[in-house]
Amino acid sequence: MSEPVLEIRNLDVDYGLGDRAVHAVRDVSLTLHRGEVLGLAGESGSGKSTLAYGLTRLLPPPGVITGGQVIYHPEKDSPYDVLALSDRKLREFRWAETAIVFQGAMNSLNPVHKISTQLTDVLRAHDPAMSEHSRNARAREMLKLVGISPDRMDAYPHQLSGGMRQRVMIGMALILQPQVVIMDEPTTALDVVMQRQILGQLIELRERLGFSVIFITHDLSLLVEFSNRIAIMYGGRIVEEAPASTIYRNALHPYSEGLLGSFPALRGPKRELAGIPGSPPDLAGMPSGCSFHPRCPKAFDPCPTTVPVLGPPADANAAGRTVACWLHPALENR
Amino acid sequence: MTSTKAPSGEVVLEAVGLTKHFPVRRRLRQILRKEHDAVHAVDDVHLTLRRGRVVALVGESGSGKSTVARLLAQLYPRTGGDIRLHGASTRVKGGRPFREYAARVQMIFQDPFASLNPVHTIRYHLTRALKIHGNAGSTADELEAALHDLLTRVSLTPPERYLDKFPHELSGGQRQRVAIARALGARPEALLADEPVSMLDVSIRLGVLNLLRDLKERLNLAILYITHDIASARYFADETLVMYAGRMVEGGDSETVTQAPAHPYTRLLIDSAPDPDRLTGDAGALEEDRGNGEPPSLIKPPSGCRFHPRCPAAMPRCSTDRPVPLEIGDAPGHWAACWLYDKAEAA
């Protein structure tokens, strides 16, 4: 496997302080490798977006990072901890090294500015010495790259369709050639035809420009198709991480299995599906032990009391996968 | 309940040539020239809801599928065509006729966070539905029994635990169940479900769909299931209709429509759906779509077939003649509005 570009180590994120704090992300460790698409799946409230905002230090108050490290490996320099950067360094780091495409990106464009202004704004902020001419040229080039005709430079966001606005957002994220692009539900508001076009284009761009992607969504079937590895979150923790095809064919955690069984298939035999009983947990009142145990069909003695540790399972073919479940205890748990 | 005795398969609600145009604000020049622009949201839609059957209406956003539901619920006046309830043409505008209509045809909305009033308890919501439609009984005990019955029907048990809660105390799936219970409070014959699960978490969507199917069987309901997810239509519906830009393009048995799609648009829709068995990042659907993946403007819809600017199989005829529904012949009742299947042309 190629070298890591972003390493999250034991990250904890809380909302609020003191006794009433809600633990949204608990002890998450995750590694993104160079050139890889890492899928992050989970339901609403599982902490997947909080994790993305936490590692880019974009958390709005009352969100607080209470522990852990986010180690970034630049292409040439030595690695450093993003969480320890000074404000000035952080401003340089953001967008140039990691860019983020937000949830509902269609509404993240400023409606009173032309898209050319919004595209060149980034360049002006990060490279004040750049001439206006070359800024515009770069913006044009970017639009062409994401499949929008450059003569739409002077359009306002409302003159573009949802899919085009989403393309502009992706182009904007890539304009400084970041190493890491975080996409938070980039296509949920779009129709399936548009979704496929945009994702197909993104994969193509990734091959050409060589950035890595953290792709956050609740649509697991989309992730299986488009990502290399998948991490599944539940109740603020990662419960399983494995290569995409392994998750699809042989998921170990009952929650992953349940999620996969929640999508009716378009092809193949028609099966009776059940989804997962119960509802996602409330972060303020998280169940003890494994937070999935009240909904888990296979829960047994240790589940309500002890939190399972994420580790390579001892019983299955453990190549490159980890799981946090007492059914498949990690090696060091024994 | 008397309605359960009706035979399964009996036609409840029919749309015949249903059309809805929304007027567009005119500019001065258009007023002077007496031009009337309109959004052609729904054009010439035919569908039939039968007891104990689920019909899915599949389409992208802007295809007019929600407008069809609202027309059938008589929330919008129609521009043309007819809505027939048990064969009798109906047009209600409000007041008592509307209530009588609503007692037989109920609607479930997409967003359970918006469709329940946050300042009232579940008891209030359900009591209101029961009282308005005269199903509350005459004593307090009968009302209480009816409330318990409703919540049990939608698997919110024990009912006492939910009755006095406020919507914010429930999860999305539970709220949607309350919305379904409220619709059932009218003892309807037909349910119009407008994307009932798209706002819910993936793990609980199937629970709600399975509940609807169960209710359909037990109460012998006719259900119109509106969705953008063609895979869930295959799972849940007996019959699937595909809409594009305000017109129906294909229809038939769900299994046939999804496994042997005939219309190029249905094929594009199915090829674009996420499929875990496909290789990583295969952009295969791009070849199927000549356009930029966007539906056309409905103010000036394309002439002829509305899909022809994007269609990979478009012929000269497609841009001039409006295609009529043509039998495909592979399964009974499978049709597509596409000139590719015109036998006279092929002969």
- Supply the pLDDT for residue B33: 81
Q: Which of A37-51, A311-325, B318-332 has the lowest mean pLDDT?
A: A311-325
Q: Using beta carbons and an 8 Å cutoff, which residues of B are at the interface with A? A: 60-61, 171-174, 201-207, 210, 228, 230-232, 234-236, 255, 258-259, 268-278, 280-283, 285-286, 289, 292-294
B201:A225 CB<8 A: no
Query: A162 in helix, strand or coil?
Result: helix
Pairing mode, if any, of strands B105-108 and A322-323?
unpaired
- Summarize pLDDT for A109-155 with one digit per residue, the tens: 899 999 999 999 989 998 889 999 999 999 999 998 888 888 888 99
CB A268 within 8 A of CB B159: no
Position B263, amino acid:
H
* Best mutation target, B169, B280, B289, B298, to test chain A (most A CBs within 10 A): B280
B171:A199 CB<8 A: no
- CA proximity to B293, closest of A224, A110, A143, A200: A200
Res. B5: pLDDT tops 60: no
The closest CB to that of A276, out of B172, B204, B286, belongs to: B204
- Summarize pLDDT for A215-241 with one digit per residue, the tens: 998 888 888 888 999 999 998 999 999
B203:A264 CB<8 A: no
Question: pTM of whole model > 0.90?
Answer: no
Search chain B and give the residue with CA nearest A203.
Answer: B281
Judged by a CB distance cut-off of 8 A, whether residue A141 touches chain B is no
Res. A257: pLDDT tops 80: yes
With pLDDT > 90 as the criterion, what percentage of chain A qualifies? 30
Q: Which of A19-23, B66-70, B176-180, B186-190 has the lowest mean pLDDT?
A: A19-23
- b (16+ CB within 10 A) / e for A22-52: bbbbbbbbbbbbbbbbbbbbbbebbbbbbbb
Res. B39: pLDDT tops 60: yes
The closest CB to that of A275, out of B206, B228, B292, belongs to: B206
Q: What are phi and psi of A296, to 5 degrees?
A: -80, 130
For residues B150-176, average pLDDT? 90
- Summarize pLDDT for B94-150 with one digit per residue, the tens: 888 999 999 999 999 988 888 999 999 999 999 999 999 998 888 999 999 999 999
- Supply the pLDDT for residue A334: 43
For residues A293-306, average pLDDT? 90
Res. B204: pLDDT tops 80: yes
Residues 3-42 of A with CB under 8 A from B: none
ipTM of the complex: 0.81
CB B333 within 8 A of CB B252: yes
